[in-house]
């Protein structure tokens, strides 16, 4: 398993991403998330409070995760997104595609 930090809360697995999600890190993160989904986890919350940078390859990680979760009737939420990362989601109009919440607790309650 990679350096992706996770925490189980209620039925959700919270995935904490930090630093930069760019071309160098996105493949590793995507593989880790695929392993998580393959292990049976279908309800994911991405906590992005410590994610400082998101590239197009990083965005692809979220799109492919959402697609995989839809195939297994899963759920994906994003929480605590930093303003500069939120701006990227907004520019590419992904803020309408993803279920984004201010806090992880809000995301957990929004079932």
The domains of the chain are located at 5-109
For residue 97, the SS3 value is coil
SS (H, E, C) 4-47: CEEEEECCEEEEEEEEEECHHHHHHHHHHHHHHHHCCCCEEEEE
pTM: 0.94
* Helices and strands (H and E) in the chain: how many: 4, 5
**What DSSP character marks residue 104?**
H
Q: Is the pLDDT of residue 99 over 60?
A: yes
| Of 111 and 37, more confident | 37
CATH topology of domain 5-109: Transcription Regulator spoIIAA (3.30.750)
* For the chain, percent of residues with pLDDT exceeding 90: 92
Q: Is the pLDDT of residue 38 over 60?
A: yes
**Residue pLDDT, tens place only, 45-64:** 999 999 999 999 999 999 99
pLDDT of residue 1: 37
**Residue pLDDT, tens place only, 2-17:** 469 999 999 999 999 9
Would you report the helix, strand and coil content of the chain in percent, each value rounded to 5? 40, 30, 25
Q: Is the pLDDT of residue 111 over 80?
A: no
């Amino acid at each position: 398993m990679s350096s992706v930090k996770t925490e189980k809360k209620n039925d959700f697995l919270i995935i904490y991403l930090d630093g930069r999600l760019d071309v160098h890190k996105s493949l590793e993160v995507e593989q880790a998330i695929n392993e998580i989904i393959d292990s049976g986890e279908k309800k994911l919350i991405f906590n992005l409070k410590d994610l400082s940078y998101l590239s197009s390859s990083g965005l692809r990680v979220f799109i492919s995760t959402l697609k995989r979760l839809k195939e297994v009737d899963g759920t994906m939420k994003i929480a605590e997104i930093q303003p500069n990362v939120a701006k990227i989601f907004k520019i590419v109009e992904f803020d309408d595609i993803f279920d984004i919440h201010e806090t992880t607790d809000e995301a957990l309650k929004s079932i």
